[in-house]
Amino acid sequence: MQTRLQKILSAAGVASRRAAETMIVEGRVSVNGSTVTQLGTRADPDADDIRVDGRRIAKPRRRYIALHKPRGFVTTRSDPQHRPTVLDLVRVNEYLYPVGRLDYDSEGLLLLTNDGELAEHLTHPRYGVEREYEARVRGVPEPASLKRLARGIPLEGRRTAPADVRLLETGRGARGDQAMISVVLHEGRTRQVRKMCEAVGHPVVRLRRVRVGPIRLGTLKPGEFRDLTRAEVRQLEEAAARHVVKRKPQSPKPKAQSPRLFVMRQNLIIAIDGPSGVGKGTIARLVAAKLGYRHVDTGAMYRAVAWAAVRDAIPLAAEDRIAQLASDAALVVGERVILINGHDVTRDIRTPDIDRAASAVARLPRVRAVLVARQRALGANGSIVMEGRDIGTVVFPDADVKVYLDAAPEERARRRAADPAHAGNGKVPLAEVKTEMEARDRADSTRESSPLTPAPDAHLIDTTGLSIEEVAERVLEVVETCRRR
């Protein structure tokens, strides 16, 4: 596969991408005996003879590492607050990124790899790979509280999936009675164990992850790491394949059943469009979870490309350069993590500055063409809920279900202003948020390429005054109606 030389050198651990670009311009890199000085030159790392200063580079190899993450480290490649990251602990030549997250105050097993496909399988809830935690909590939970944790706790408008919960031990701490409980999750929402325990009145004092799928923390001490064996990598792959949500074939004489269960067995493409502030992301995630489908936030793809363009100081009007960036980027859009070229940008892309940059990037026809092609590939097999601003009109004009969400401008502005990810570290005035949203709406609805507009056959839902659950229920009713046609 042809790839830009600087990416090949970076993946091989020769140098960072920027340093690799300097090597190329200086004439230190050759491909099949010919010196290369032109940035953007492509090569096949598996077939071509690529050399730096006359020495042939090694082919990039997949690497899989188990780390005992200590408390006080951020699970990301870089941190804008300059806190220590897990990559400060793992000094290797390969360009690795964390698989999922462990929050700053938590510790335990963290996997790192440069295998994007396996990372996606291990983090996406569709594959249901188990994560086991040991939580020391305040007080001693009663059996009823343990049962509540096991059944699921309503968090942020959505009930957690069933979990395996056991009481391991009880004891006395500096602040009174404490207990150690084991919690095995099949999903991985942000700070989930802490929020669940808080909800039943037993805040977490200390949290450690001891297992991811078949891989256990074992005897690794805080800060230590090791390479996984080939057998362990195969076990991880098998765990993801074994736990993937499978849909049973319909019996020739089906029994009476809930319509929702029938919908779950269809490989539908569900398109959810609408302007910002209508709750597309929250609703799409909730609907996908209820149907056992994959959820894809296409806006995150534009945001990630915009983030990379800003980081590389590429002018936002440089259409060809940004389109090339979008085409070459290793882009992973997971349920809880967004990666671009190995950088975890999940939080970095949810800022007002990237909002504006993403809007500018989304107006570039060549960039949209590249990302639309990638979006179509993601949804080609169905069983997907894809949300954005042109899913039902451009990406999947023949989608099985098309929904367009809207809300009164004042309510959309209030929701946006209340979103911590949008507000960043400070509170943005409501009037300023409304002005920004109106400007974004004008730009999106008047752009020449893929303007924001409802598909003619989309089901319009006004979310003004409705709760998340009410909107999700209406979308599911639309899904059922379309299924029956």
Return the active site residues. Answer: 103
**Measured CA angle at 322 (ends 94, 300), to 5 deg:** 75
Computed from CA positions of residues 277, 283, 288, 289, in that sequence, does the dihedral angle turn out positive or negative?
Answer: positive
Residue whose tokens read 């269960």: 261
Residue 429 backbone phi and psi in degrees, to 5: -60, 140
**Measured CA angle at 187 (ends 185, 189), to 5 deg:** 110
In the chain, count H helices and then E strands.
16, 25
Residue whose tokens read 């539908």: 268
**Closest by Cα among 421, 391, 401, 407 to 470:** 407
Computed from CA positions of residues 354, 356, 359, 360, in that sequence, does the dihedral angle turn out positive or negative?
Answer: negative
Give the DSSP H/E element, type plus range, for residue 356.
Answer: helix 352-362
Quick check: helix, strand or coil at residue 13? coil
> What number of other Cβ atoms are within 10 A of residue 242's Cβ?
13
Computed from CA positions of residues 218, 223, 227, 232, in that sequence, does the dihedral angle turn out positive or negative?
Answer: positive
**Closest by Cα among 337, 388, 384, 68 to 189:** 337
Q: Return the amino acid letter for 378.
A: L
d(CA 125, CA 109): 19
Quick check: helix, strand or coil at residue 437? helix
